[in-house]
Amino acid sequence: MTLRVLDENNQPSAGAFEIRDRWGRVYPSQAKRLAPDFAFHPQIYRYDQEIIELPPGEFHIEFSRGPESFKEKRVVQIGDLPTELTFKVRRWIDPSLKGWWSGDHHIHAAGCAHYSNPTEGVHAPDMLRHCMGEDLKIGANLTWGPCFDYQKQFFTGEIDPVSRFPYLLRYDIEISGFGSHRSGHLCLLRLRNQMYPGGDSMAHWPTLCLNSLKWAKAQGALSGPAHSGWGLQVATDKLPNYIIPPFDGIGANEYIVDVTHEVPGPTGALEPAVDFISTVDTPYVWELNIWYHTLNAGFRTRISGETDFPCIYGERVGLGRSYVKLSGPLNYDDWCQGIRMGRNYVGDGRSHILHFEINGQEMGVDRSELNLDQPQVVNVRTQVAALLDESPQPSLQNRSYTEKPYWHIERARIDATREVPVEILVNGLPVASTNIVADGRVYDLDWQIPMDKSSWVAVRILPSSHSNPIFVLVDDKPIRASKESIEWCLKSVDQCWNQKQNFISAAERVEAEAAYEHARQVYRARLAELEE
């Protein structure tokens, strides 16, 4: 069977095909798959004019191309002679037409569900195929512990030559399975040199996250903790909440310390040690709670969306995404810079925040900062869209937030309707909400929100999409939104140290103690500002 795969403009494309016979058996057989097909997938990815061999009979085919398009289902009869079938993408939305480019900053070509035999993971053409089949424009392919010494050969410091614009693949690093990973895995993007000085593998890396961040930031990298919620689990769905989590995992644990540090960038000027916190691939309460508290303490870390494919999620790349707004042509460096500037929203691709401004100040532009001389009512404008099936899926809708999928538009559905709430947050708390029908239409929404003190403001359709903040400064005062949040941060530094100190090497012990004490002093100073 020859597949014709066309995009919405009738141009040759790629797509995902799940093929089953009348008894539900998957073709080609998952047990016999090698790259580019993955044995842990029911679907395969094919380009236009590629061929699939099937025996004669009845087959049920599901064609898809990521969350921005509709799925197509059809039943076909395969005979003894070759045949040709045409599949065309039908979109419900295309954020790229408005300058929003999708990307997943955390995927892997080796480890977890990937092959380790007969090859050490898969190669770049295989990962690009999957990105294109899911209509994911940017794929950050991170080399980590498993197969590190084999996969490191693909790093160039540039986008991989297999890239087909606008689908760009680049190799970078996740510190996972080595070095400081016990204090929290780190995604290091836009590296120019992938190897920490002192060796040519992964055995010699620092055990203090901050030291790896210093090295990465000095070469202009974008950096942040991976799968942020691990180690931050709490027995509540309240957001924000003030329970001190155990800090016993591999998520945004040492982040509570590193966010207080500035380190030299490529020019020598000081920059925040952490650019972003990863979201979408762990329970949203756990990952957002620490972010909200550090924002309330006055820090300006942004969020980015990830899948951690095929480890946390093996179903497909791009289940967690960042949509970055670019004014010029898409390229990897500018896409990363957009995350650093907070010119992006995150989500599952089933809802979108296509515009967010306050009094004309857009998210991610001019430091995302709006200055007011005095308290006043501000005008918040947003443009949002979402798509839900007409019929609810109660098994997903009513699932605990601690169960997969952690972010999904179905979880935002209001009862048995097709509506979802769009919320305006001020300092992590919803202050206004409007329901929209998740029918794929784009809605322009306006709010009048009182701003009494310096605050951060964001938009969310929880748990499906979330904007980055706009920082509103009143009377030129810094954001110190919550005494309780800063106290939470201060207590969390001690909790993190109790959990992580034994994983720090003797050679870095003094540095680690100083880094943690620095964080305590910063939080104490910010508490004192509130008490003045």
pLDDT of residue 116: 80
Range of 401's domain?
A: 351-476
pLDDT of residue 527: 97
Q: What is the pLDDT of residues 24-47, one digit of tens each?
A: 999 999 999 999 999 999 999 999
Asked which of 40, 65, 88 is the last residue of a domain, the reply is 88
Q: For residue 532, is pLDDT > 80?
A: no
Q: How far apart are CA 188 and CA 226, in angstroms?
A: 10
CATH of the domain at 65: 2.60.40
Judge whether 58 lies within some domain. yes
Give the DSSP H or E segment for 265. none
* Residue among 115, 137, 46 at smallest CA distance from 85: 46
Q: What is the pLDDT of residues 135-186, one digit of tens each?
A: 999 999 999 999 999 999 999 999 999 999 999 999 999 999 999 999 999 9
- How deeply is 80 buried, as exposed, middle or buried, from its count of CB atoms within 10 A (0-12, 13-18, 19+)? exposed
pTM exceeds cut of 0.85: yes
Report the percentage of the chain scoring pLDDT > 70.
100
- Is the Cβ–Cβ distance between 185 and 175 less than 8 Å? yes
Give the DSSP H or E segment for 382. strand 376-387
- Is the Cβ–Cβ distance between 341 and 300 less than 8 Å? no
Judge whether 28 lies within some domain. yes
pLDDT of residue 66: 98
pLDDT of residue 207: 98
Phi then psi for residue 65, to 5 deg, are -150, 60
* Residues 6 or more apart whose Cβ sits within 8 Å of residue 9: none
Task: State the average pLDDT over residues 443-453.
Answer: 98
530: three-class secondary structure by DSSP = helix
Phi then psi for residue 151, to 5 deg, are -70, -25
Mean pLDDT of the chain: 97
Judge whether 422 lies within some domain. yes
* Residues 6 or more apart whose Cβ sits within 8 Å of residue 76: 58, 59, 61, 85
pLDDT of residue 506: 98
Task: State the average pLDDT over residues 271-278.
Answer: 98
450: three-class secondary structure by DSSP = strand
Residue type, 164: R
pLDDT of residue 477: 97
Judge whether 375 lies within some domain. yes
How far the first Cα of the chain sits from its last, in Å, is: 74
Give the DSSP H or E segment for 292. helix 284-296
Q: What is the pLDDT of residues 7-17, one digit of tens each?
A: 999 999 999 99
- Is the Cβ–Cβ distance between 66 and 307 less than 8 Å? no
* Residue among 224, 205, 337, 306 at smallest CA distance from 272: 224
- Cα–Cα distances in Å, from 416 out to 252, 384, 413, 443? 35, 21, 7, 21
Q: What is the pLDDT of residues 387-438, one digit of tens each?
A: 999 999 999 999 999 999 999 999 999 999 999 999 999 999 999 999 999 9
Asked which of 88, 118, 152 is the last residue of a domain, the reply is 88
Neighbour tally for 366: CB within 10 Å:
9
Q: What is the pLDDT of residues 46-99, one digit of tens each?
A: 999 999 999 999 999 999 999 999 999 999 999 999 999 999 999 999 999 999
* Residue among 288, 250, 276 at smallest CA distance from 500: 250
Judge whether 180 lies within some domain. no
Judge whether 31 lies within some domain. yes
Q: What is the pLDDT of residues 211-244, one digit of tens each?
A: 999 999 999 999 999 999 999 999 999 999 999 9
Task: State the average pLDDT over residues 494-520.
Answer: 98
Domain total for the chain?
2
Q: How far apart are CA 286 and CA 274, in angstroms?
A: 18
Task: State the average pLDDT over residues 268-289.
Answer: 98
Q: How far apart are CA 245 and CA 393, in angstroms?
A: 31
318: three-class secondary structure by DSSP = coil
- Is the Cβ–Cβ distance between 464 and 350 less than 8 Å? yes
Q: Which residue has the tokens 């100073």?
A: 525
* Residues 6 or more apart whose Cβ sits within 8 Å of residue 169: 124, 127, 128, 131, 139, 141, 159, 160, 162, 163
Judge whether 178 lies within some domain. no
Q: What is the pLDDT of residues 99-129, one digit of tens each?
A: 999 999 999 999 999 988 778 999 999 999 9
Task: State the average pLDDT over residues 428-456.
Answer: 98
Asked which of 65, 88, 111 is the last residue of a domain, the reply is 88
Q: For residue 319, is pLDDT > 90?
A: yes
Give the DSSP H or E segment for 256. helix 255-258
- Cα–Cα distances in Å, from 13 out to 53, 69, 96, 170, 438? 20, 13, 16, 21, 27
pLDDT of residue 531: 78
- Is the Cβ–Cβ distance between 383 and 362 less than 8 Å? no
Give the DSSP H or E segment for 528. helix 509-531
Judge whether 48 lies within some domain. yes
